[in-house]
Structure 1
Amino acid sequence: MQLSTSQRIPDPAHDVLRYQHQPLDAIFAPKSVAIVGATEKPGSVGRTLLWNLISSPFGGTVYPVNPKRRNVLGIKAYAAIAEIPEPVDLAIIVTPAPTVPGLIRECADVGVKGAVIISAGFKEIGQPGVELERQILEQARRGKMRIVGPNCLGVMNPLSGLNATFAPTIARPGNVGFISQSGALCTAVLDWSFRENVGFSAFVSVGSMVDVGWGDLIYYLGDDPHTQSIVMYMESIGDARSFLSAAREVALTKPIIAIKVGRTAAAAQAAASHTGSLTGSDEVLDAAFRRCGVLRVNTIDDLFNMAEVLAKQPRPKGRRLTILTNAGGPGVLATDALISGQGELAPLEPATVAALDPILPKHWSHANPIDILGDAEPERYAKSLEIAAKDPSSDGILVILTPQSMSDPTQTAEQVVKTLQESEISDKPILASWMGGANVAAGEEILNQASIFTFPYPDTAARVFNLMWRYSYNLRGIYETPVLPDVHCRDLNSHCPDRDSADRILQAVRNSRRSLLTELESKQLLAAYGIPTVTTQIATSAEEAAEIAQQIGYPVVLKLHSETITHKTDVGGVRLLLKDAETVKRAYHAIEESVGEKVGSQHFLGVTVQPMMHLEGYEIILGSSLDSQFGPVLLFGTGGQLVEVFQDRALALPPLNTTLARRMMEQTRIYTALKGVRGRQPVDLAALEQLLVRFSQLVVEQPWIKEIDINPLLVSSERIIALDARIVLHDPEAELNQIPRLAIRPYPTQYVSPWIAKDGTTVTIRPIRPEDEPLMVKFHQTLSEESVYLRYFHMIKLQTRVAHDRLTRICFIDYDREMALVADCENPETGEHEILGVSRLSKLHGTNEAEFGMLISDRAQGKGIGTELLRRLLQVGKDENLEQITAEILSDNRPMQRICEKLGFKLKRQMDIVEAVYPLE
C-alpha cells in the first residue's frame, strides 16, 4: 500500500514547474482591455492611456468607454462597460474618485477580473476617501476582482508590449520586476533605465494598495519565469504578514531589493501624508527585512546594481574579500569602503603567497590587497586571479585595473574571462572595476557579457560586495537549522510553559482593572515560561520586611511594591545593600515616606524583599513593545541604568528559534563581550539563546501583553537571572480582536494532539518545525523507490531529497501560507523520536485554494496514519476558510484514491492522473 500524492505547485524536491493560473494574469496578460474615461482631450490621462495601449501592441483588444462619445481616436467607444460585446479581462479607470465604486460594481456584474484605478482622491485625502476605498473593495470581493491602485501610474508588461500607464513611453524588456509606491518615481526610474540600458519584466505602480499589495506582486513575480530579480520602492508596508510571507518564500530563489523611504522622522511624515498611511519604526523595518531575506539599499543605483549582480553572480559565503589591483591607491580606496561597511580583507593563505611569488615581481604587496604592480600585463592578471580565487579564505574577488602604459584593458578583460571559464571558478562572486572611462569601455563590455559585474570606481564595488554578503548572511539565518528545544517537550515549539499559571496571573490583573503588573506578578509570569528570576517576597510592614530578610539572608534589596508606579527609582523606591534588620526597617520607612511625598501614599502597598545579588557579569535588557505595522517586536541589548545612553540594541520579530536568537545577539556590541574578553569566561550563549526563545514564546502566546522589559537580565559564565521586570498590559477595555497581531504567524499549537494508530502505536500529530530536519533525513531513509515515485512523479535520489537546502524549505515553513503535519512517535527500542508520515497543505498563489501532498513511511503504512493526517488537513482548510482543496494522484496509486473518496473528495480521471477535489464552500 503506497500512500503519497503530488502537488501542482512547484515542489522544493525538484524543478518541474507546471503552469498554475494566476488571477493577476488578468492585469499583466489581458486579452482585452477597457479604458473607462477614455477621451481625446489633449494632454489628458485618458487620452495618453488609450494612445499607449494602441501604440504598443500587446496582442489584445482595446475598448474605450465614454458615454459622451461614439468613438475615441477613431476607435468605437461604448457608453458603459456592460455594453462591450466581448468579455473584458482588465478595466483601467481614470474617472473622478466618487464615480469609481459604481464603476467597479458594473465591472463585477459583467465578470471583469482585474482593474487598474489611476484616479486619485482616496485615502490620501482623509475619511471620505477611506470610505470610497471601502466601497471599492466590497464590490471587488463580490466579483472576485483584483485591483491595482488607486492613485497610481498603472502597469507595464514590457515583454508583451502592454503599456497600461500614462508614462510617455514603455520600458525596455528585461528580467527585472519593478514595483513602486510612487508614480513620480516610476517615471524617473523609467528615464534612468533608458540611459543605463536596464530592462524590465514588469513595471508596476501600486498607489495606495486598496487590494493588490506587496505580497501579491512578490508571489506573482516569483512565479514568473521571465523575472530574475525584484526591486521595490516602498513608502508603507500595508499587510505586513502578507509581505513577510511572500518575501521569505521568494527571496530564496530570486533576489528582492528594496528602497524604503522614511529613515528620518521628516521623511516618514512626508511619506505618510503622501500615501495616507502611517509608517512604523525604521529599525523595526530593518528587522523585518532581515527576517524575510529582503536586501535594503539607499540609492537607485544600488537598487538596480544589486538586482543585476545578485542575478548574475553567486552569493558570497562570508564577508572576506580579496582585492587584486595594479595600483596601490585604488586598492586602499576599496579597502576603506569594505571595512567601513563591516566587510573584511581575506587573509592570504601561505600556499597562496607561495604560488604568487614566482609569477609576480619581487616587490608585490605579499598581502591583501594583492598589488601586482603597474606594469602588469594581461597574463599576469589572469594567473594571479586564478591563484587568488582558489584561496579557501576568500569569499569574493574584486579585480581592479587602472590604465597605465603597460596595461591593456581589453586584452586583460579577455584573459580574465578565459581564466575564469577554464578554471571553473564558480562558487564565489567576481567583481571588477575597470577605471578610465572611454579607454576601458571595450574591456568592460567583455566582462559584462561574461556576467562579471563592472564598476567605474573600486569603492563602489566594495560597497556592493558588502551588500551581497549581508544579503547572503540574512538568508542563511532564515534557513539555518536551529537546535532542538532544551527540554523534552517535543510536542510544542519550545520550552513547555505553565500556561495555566500565566493565564491566571494575567486574568487576575485584568479583573482588577489594572494594566500594570507588580514586580512580583511580573516575575511569576516570567517563571511560568522558564525564565529564572531572583527570589522575591512582599512585605507590608517594616517588621515583616526584616523577618523576610532574615530568612533570605543578608544583604538584601528593598523595592517599592505598587500597582501603579512603573519606575521605582524615580520616586525613591529602591534601597540596596541592606545588611541587618534595623537597616531594613529604616529603608522600609524611607521608601514609604518618599513615595508619599512625591506621588501620594495611596501608591505605596509595601515593599518587595530580594537578596542582594553579586553583580558579577553583564547587564542585559530583554524586552518587547508594539510597532504600528508589525505588531510585537523584540529587543535585546546592553541593559542597566544607562540603557538609553548606550543605545546598544537589536530588534527582531517573534517568534524566535535558537538560530534567529543568536543572529539577534550578533547585531549588538555587547555580544563580543559575551563571548569572553580580557580573561573573562564566556557567557553560556546556548543557554541565553534558549532563554530568548522562551521569552519570544511568552510574547507570542500572551497577546494581552503590550510592553515587557527585563532590565537587568544578569548574565555571566555561571548564571542567567532576571533581576527586575516590568510588564504593561493592554487597556482592560480592549477586545482581543483590537490588539495588533503578530507579523509572523507563530507555531500553531492548536494542531498538536496525540492519536492512537490501528496497531496501538501512540503518535503525536503536530505541525512540522525547523528543528525537524534531522528527523526528516531519517524519514527519507525509510522510503522505497515506489513511494518516492508516487509522491514526486519521478525518481529522486536520497542524496537530493535530504540535501540541507531542500529540507530547510520543507521544515521551515510559513504557517500563514502552508501547513505541514507530521506523525511523530517515540521508538520504544531506541527512545528516539521518529517521523512516520508527512502531509502538507499549500495555498495556491493568488487564490483561496490549496493543494495537499502526503508521504507515509513504507513500514508505517496500513495503520491509518494517512487517513488521519488528511482528515486533519481538511480541518485546517476549514479553519483557514479555504474554498477548496485539490491534489493530483497517479492512477496507479489506488490506496490514496480510496482514502480521498472515503473523506469526501471527488475524483476525476485524466489519462495517468487522477485529480482529487474537496470543496469547502
Structure 2
Amino acid sequence: MSQRGLEALLRPKSIAVIGASVTPGRAGYFMMRNLLAGGFSGPVLPVTPKYKAVSGVLAWPTIGSLPFAPDLAVICTHSKRNLELLQQLGEKGCKACIILSAPASQSAELKACASRWQIRLLGPNSLGLLAPWQGLNASFSPVPIEKGRIAFISQSAAVSNTILDWAQQRNLGFSWFIALGDSLDTDVDDLLDFLARDGKTSAILLYLEHLSDARRFVSASRSASRNKPILVIKSGRSREAQALLGTHSGLDAAWDAAIQRAGLLRVQDTHELFSAVESLSHMRPLRGERLMIISNGAAPAALALDELYARNGKLAQLSDETYQQLEALLPAGAGRGNPLDLKDDATAGRYAACVEILLNSHELDALMIIHAPSAVAPATETASHLIDTIARHPRGKLVTLLTNWSGEFSSQAARRAFTQAGIPTWR
C-alpha cells in the first residue's frame, strides 16, 4: 500500500484550482467557494486566463505562470483537457491532483502520466475531499461539514452527499470525508493505512461498490482494524445490482468472508450506516462487555436481549447489595434480573435514581436505557433528568451509555436532547 504523495493530497499546504470561475453553476465556481468558505489557511491559487481575480483572489493565467508548485491541484475544466493539464502540473512539480470528471477512455493515459511525474491522483469522477480539522473543503459538497472523529471513505458521490446532508441535520462531524470516484490511483487500502495512524480519527466507515485488489484490501483492513473500528457497507449483493453498478460479478458470501477475516463489521443498508455514524460519533470506547439493560416494560427489553444473545453479547451480573438498593426504589414484586424492568409506572425520578445506583456500581461496563412512550414518564422530561444525572456523576464518562427512546411523535425532542448531550440514541 503506497503512501507516496498522500501527505500532499490529504494535508496540502497550498491548492491550485485549475479552471476557477466566477460563473455560478460551474465546477470552478463551487470549488473556489467551498475552499474559501472552509477556512483553508494556505494559499489558494485560481488558474484561469479569463479573469484577473476569482472570489477576490488574484488569478494566474496558466499553470506555468504560478509563483510556486502547489501541493494539490483540482482540475475543474472540461475533461478533454485533463491529460494536457496533468502534464503541465507534473512539469511544475505539483505533488497531488483531484480530477473531478473524466471518461473511462482516458484512464490508462492519466494513470501513466501521474506515474511518470509522481503525482498522487484522487478520482477521477470524485466528489472531492473534506478535512474539517484543516479547514479544507476541496469538494462539490452542497452542505458544510462539522469537525468530528469519524473518517468516511466512499466510492459513490450520491451516497457521499446523502451522508453529508443527514449528518448536517444532526450536527455530526467527520475527521475526513473522501470520495474516491473511480479510484484510478488512490484506493481504499492506501487511505486505511493513512487513517489508522491519524490522531483525529477514532473510527472509519467505508461505502464500497468494488475492489481493485481484494488481497491488498484485506491486508490493510486487518492492520487498521487492530487500532480502530471499521464499518463497511457494500452494495451489489445481487448480480442485477452488480450489473447496474458496472462492477465485477461475484458471490456476496465471499465478500462477507473477506470482511469478517479482515476484522471489519458489515452493515447492510444506509439505515444501519446512519445508526453506525451516530453511534460512533457519540459512543465512548467500551471498557468491557458487561451490559446492563433497564426498561419501563419487559417486551422492549426482551427484544434487546434477543439481539444481544444473537450477537454473542454478555450481560452484567449485579451483586446482592446493588439489587437491594434497586429494590428500595421499585414496586413490590418487580423482581431481580438483567434486564431490569422498572415497570410501566416508572417516573423520570425512578429512572434517574436507578441509573445513579448502577453508575455507582463497578459491576457493568455499558448501560442501555430503554424508554417506551409513557404518560407517567414523559419522554423529554425523563431524558432531561437522565442527562443531568449522567453529567453530574463521576462515572458518567466511564460507562458506555446507550439510549433507546422508542416511538416517534413523543420522542423526537428527547432523542435530540441526547444527541446534543453527546449520548448515543436510537428510535
Q: What is the aligned partner in structure 1 of residue 65 from structure 2? A: 83
CA–CA distance in structure 2, aligned partners of residues 413 and 72 of structure 1: 48
Deviations along 1:678-725, one digit per CA (max 9) or x if unpaired, are: xxxxxxxxxxxxxxxxxxxxxxxxxxxxxxxxxxxxxxxxxxxxxxxx
* Aligned residue number for residue 120 of structure 1: 102
Cα root mean square deviation, aligned: 3.3
* Correspondence 1:207 to 2:189: no
CA–CA separation in structure 2 for the residues paired with 1:269 and 1:202: 30
Map 1:655-670; keep pairs closer than 5 Å.
none
1:220 Cα deviation after fit: 2.2
Matched-pair identity in %: 33
**One-letter identity of the residue aligned with 2:93:** G
Instruction: Give how far 1:225 is off.
Output: 1.7
1:232 aligns with 2:206: yes
What amino acid does structure 2 have at the position aligned with 1:46? Answer: G
Residue by residue over 1:465-487, the C-alpha shift from the partner in whole angstroms, topping out at 9 and shown as x without a partner, is: xxxxxxxxxxxxxxxxxxxxxxx
1:50 aligns with 2:21: no
CA distance in 1, matches of 2:424, 2:411: 14
Go from structure 1 to structure 2 and tell me whether the alpha carbon gap of 1:453 and 1:108 turns closer, same or farther (over 3 Å shift).
same
When the two structures are superposed, what TM-score results if normalisation uses the length of structure 2?
0.84
Matched residue, 2:257 = 287
Q: Is the 8 A contact 1:201 1:227 kept in 2?
A: yes
Q: In structure 1, how many angstroms separate the alpha carbons of the residues matched to 2:226 and 2:81?
A: 42
The aligned length equals: 418
Q: Residues 195 and 80 from structure 1, CA distance in 2 versus in 1: closer, same or farther, beyond 3 angstroms?
A: same
Q: Could you say what secondary structure the match of 1:86 adopts?
A: coil
Deviation at residue 208 of structure 1 after TM alignment: 0.7
Separation in 2, partners of 1:75, 1:411: 52
Answer yes or no: is the 8 Å Cα contact 2:131–2:137 preserved in 1: yes
Distance in 2 between residues matched to 1:395 and 1:46, nearest whole Å: 51
Q: Is the 8 A contact 1:105 1:139 kept in 2?
A: yes
State which of 90, 108, 116 in structure 2 corresponds to 1:108: 90
Residue 346 of structure 2 aligns to a residue whose secondary structure is coil
Give the 3-state SS of the residue equivalent to 2:133 in structure 1.
coil
The equivalent of 2:341 in structure 1 is: 371
1:242 aligned residue: 216
Q: Distance in 2 between matches of 1:437 and 1:413?
A: 20
Asked if the contact 1:377/1:412 (under 8 Å) is kept, the reply is: no
Corresponding residue for residue 37 of structure 1: 19
- Tell me which amino acid in the other structure corresponds to 2:120: R
Equivalent in the alignment of 2:233: 259
Give yes or no for the alignment of 1:433 onto 2:407: no
Q: Distance in 1 between matches of 2:94 and 2:7?
A: 12
* 1:323 maps to 2:293: yes
In structure 2, the residue corresponding to 1:82 is in which secondary structure? coil
8 Å Cα contact 1:151/1:208 also seen in 2:
yes
1:236 Cα deviation after fit:
0.9
Superposed displacement of residue 322, structure 1: 3.8
SS at match of 2:98: strand
1:195-594 mapped onto 2 (5 Å cutoff): 195-271=169-245, 273=246, 277-310=247-280, 312-315=283-286, 321-338=291-308, 341-343=310-312, 346=315, 351=320, 355=324, 356-378=326-348, 380-382=350-352, 384-385=354-355, 386-387=357-358, 396-407=366-377, 408-409=381-382, 410-416=384-390, 418=392, 421-422=394-395, 426=399, 429-435=400-406, 444=415, 447-448=418-419, 451-456=422-427
CA positional deviation for 1:44: 2.0
Alignment partner, residue 698 of structure 1: none
Say whether the 8 Å CA contact 1:229–1:308 is kept in structure 2: no
Distance 1:68 1:350 in 2: 76
Extract unaligned runs of 5+ from structure 2. Answer: none
Q: CA deviation at 1:316?
A: 7.5
How far is the alpha carbon of 1:202 from its aligned partner?
1.6
Structure 1 Cα separation of the partners of residues 327 and 33 of structure 2: 66
Q: Is the 8 A contact 2:279 2:425 kept in 1?
A: no
- Does the 8 A contact of 2:295 with 2:370 survive in 1? yes
The AA in structure 1 aligned to 2:170 is E
Q: Are 1:180 and 2:150 an aligned pair?
A: no
Cα distance change on mapping 1:416 and 1:63 into 2, 3 Å: closer
Change (3 A) 1:175 1:265: same
Pairing partner for 1:92 from 67, 71, 74: 74
2:141 to 161, 167, 180: 167
**CA pair 423-152 structure 1, distance change in 2 beyond 3 A:** closer
> Which is greater in Rg?
1
Q: Distance in 2 between matches of 1:316 and 1:284?
A: 32
Q: Which AA in structure 2 matches 1:295?
A: L
Is there any run of 5+ residues in structure 1 with no aligned partner, and where? 1-20, 123-128, 457-921
After superposition, the C-alpha distances for 1:393-442 in whole angstroms (9 at most, x for unaligned) are: x77432112354543502244335545x348864xx43112346686667
Alignment deviations for residues 183-235 of structure 1 (CA, whole Å, 9 cap, x no partner): 12222222112112111222211111111111121222222222222112111
The answer (yes or no) to whether the contact 1:230–1:307 under 8 Å persists in 2 is no
- The alpha-carbon deviation at position 149 of structure 1 amounts to 0.4
Instruction: List aligned pairs for 1:668-747, cutoff 5 A.
Output: none
Give the secondary structure class of the aligned counterpart of 2:134. Answer: coil
Residues 422 and 168 of structure 1, relative CA distance in 2, 3 Å threshold: closer
Residue 182 of structure 1: CA displacement? 0.8
Taking a change above 3 Å as real, the CA distance of residues 395 and 265 of structure 1, as seen in their structure-2 partners, is farther
Whole-angstrom distance in 1 between the partners of 2:109 and 2:182: 15
Q: 2:239–2:249: 8 Å Cα contact kept in structure 1?
A: no
Q: Shift of the alpha carbon at 1:391?
A: 8.6
Residue of structure 2 aligned with 1:146, choices 120, 123, 135: 120
State the 1:26 CA deviation: 1.7
Question: Structure 2 vs 1, CA of residues 194 and 449 (structure 1 numbering), >3 Å: closer, same or farther?
Answer: closer
Aligned counterpart, 2:166: 192
Deviation at 1:118, TM superposition (A): 0.5
2-structure distance, mates of 1:424, 1:37 = 49
CA contact (8 A) 1:262 1:268 kept: yes
Secondary structure of the structure 1 residue equivalent to 2:199: coil
Pair 84,239 (structure 1): closer, same or farther in 2 beyond 3 Å: same
Native 8 Å contact 1:414 1:443 kept in 2: no
Q: CA deviation at 1:100?
A: 2.0
Query: What letter is aligned with 1:152?
Result: S
Partner AA of 1:206 in structure 2? L
Shift of 1:90: 1.0
Deviation per CA, 1:577-605: give whole Å up to 9, x if none.
xxxxxxxxxxxxxxxxxxxxxxxxxxxxx
- Deviations along 1:74-120, one digit per CA (max 9) or x if unpaired, are 65444431221222111111334443233222222221000001113
- Matched residue SS, 1:290: helix
